[in-house]
Amino acid sequence: MENYIVRIYRRDSVDPNKVAGIFESVEQETENTFTDLSSLVELLSTECPDHEPVDE
Amino acid sequence: MGVNLENRHLRRQHQQQPTSGWSRRPDVGRLDQPVRIYTLGRFSIQLEGHPLYGKQVRQGRPVELLQALISLGGRDVGLDTLAQALWPDTDGDLARNNVEVTLHRLRRLFGVKNLLLLHDQRLSLNSGLGWVDAWSFERLVNHAERLLPLAADPVMVRQLARVGERLMALYQGNFLERETTSTWPLRLRERLRSKLMRHILGIGRVWERVGEWERAATYYRRGLEIDPLTEALYQRLMICCRETGHYGDAIAAYLRCETMLASHFDIKPSPATQSLFCALKR
């Protein structure tokens, strides 16, 4: 399981994609900022560790 | 004087009878619990007014069990839940056994009978014998939230003032922030922090309404110490400084807001903050 804290400091009332905040990875104790939803998704994707391939 | 855990004579059993039930508001007006546990901005335990110290308190598993118990609500927490929190990579039976052994050690550490109650494999910290600052804070902040809508009444305002001061005194920092990198304190930590920030904005507005600008500004400044990215606090602080004629402080607040937002998010202050600033310049 992965744990993150997302703090949102500003939302644009017109453009819902514009969201500014801080993204903290709990286990790795890193902190990054984002200014829109796509950069938040990018942070999530970057932080996500590679999973071991499943044996078939 | 501290209480060294090696001094066996200080680990005496309390002869108090078990409490008949949970006190609804055990913190208010009560200082008679023999155990006081501080978790906000620090971690320390006092037994009958004397701080406990020693290796067991600083790094022992028993203390981690206590911290996890508090984090998970402190009441009727399943032993399996505690086992999973503290020994996530250990086999279920072994982890469960670890909890039981550690609980035995924790009880010995305190030496306070009935402090830790185990019923149906669920553990509780008896609030009649143990006071926890975080719980006291949460009860008070909830109480303050109920008072805020009634703040037109001067009696309520005075009551809010007392509650507000007590809350600020209790909140010495975030819950168990320096104690562990585990995830189990997170929910309570974030909840308390969020409630505090909401309270600061709420009580600050009350002081503004009654013309206590300096007092409101003190709250906003304290909020900014906890979270320097909350733009609403800068806005309110600017207004308070303007109303007391401290234009330089109001401008300084704006400039700090501008710097913080630029350095963290590469954004400008919101139009509302900018228009406050423009009005100051006029």
Give B208-254 pLDDT, tens digit per residue. Answer: 999 999 999 999 999 999 999 999 999 999 999 999 999 999 999 99
Q: What is the pLDDT of residues B2-32, one digit of tens each?
A: 444 433 333 433 333 333 332 334 344 456 7
CB-nearest partner of A10 from B190, B266, B270: B270
Which residues of B lie closer than 8 Å to A, measured between beta carbons?
181, 183, 186, 190, 229-231, 264-267, 270
C-alpha B150/C-alpha B163 separation (Å) is 14
**8 Å CB contact between B52 and B11:** no
C-alpha A13/C-alpha A16 separation (Å) is 7
Q: What is the pLDDT of residues B105-162, one digit of tens each?
A: 999 988 899 999 999 999 999 999 999 999 999 999 999 999 998 888 888 888 999 9
- Chain A CB contacts of B190 below 8 Å: 5
Residue B146 Cα distances to A31, B68, B120, B133, B151, angstroms: 35, 29, 35, 20, 10
The C-alpha of B229 sits at a distance from chain A's nearest C-alpha, in angstroms, of 7
- Chain A CB contacts of B183 below 8 Å: 3, 26-27
For β-strands B50-53 and B3-4, DSSP reports them as: parallel
Dihedral over Cα of A21, A25, A28, A29: its sign:
positive
Strand ranges, E, within B48-106: 50-53, 77-78
Strand ranges, E, within A1-56: 4-11, 19-25, 30-34
- Chain A CB contacts of B266 below 8 Å: 35
Do the Cβ atoms of A9 and B183 come within 8 Å?
A: no
Strand ranges, E, within chain B: 3-4, 35-38, 44-47, 50-53, 77-78, 116-119, 122-125, 130-132
Residue B124 Cα distances to A26, B110, B113, B177, angstroms: 27, 15, 13, 23
Predicted complex ipTM exceeds 0.85: no
pTM: 0.83
- Closest residue by Cα to residue B63 from B45, B46, B77, B50: B45
pLDDT band at B55 (very low <50, low <70, confident <90, very high): low
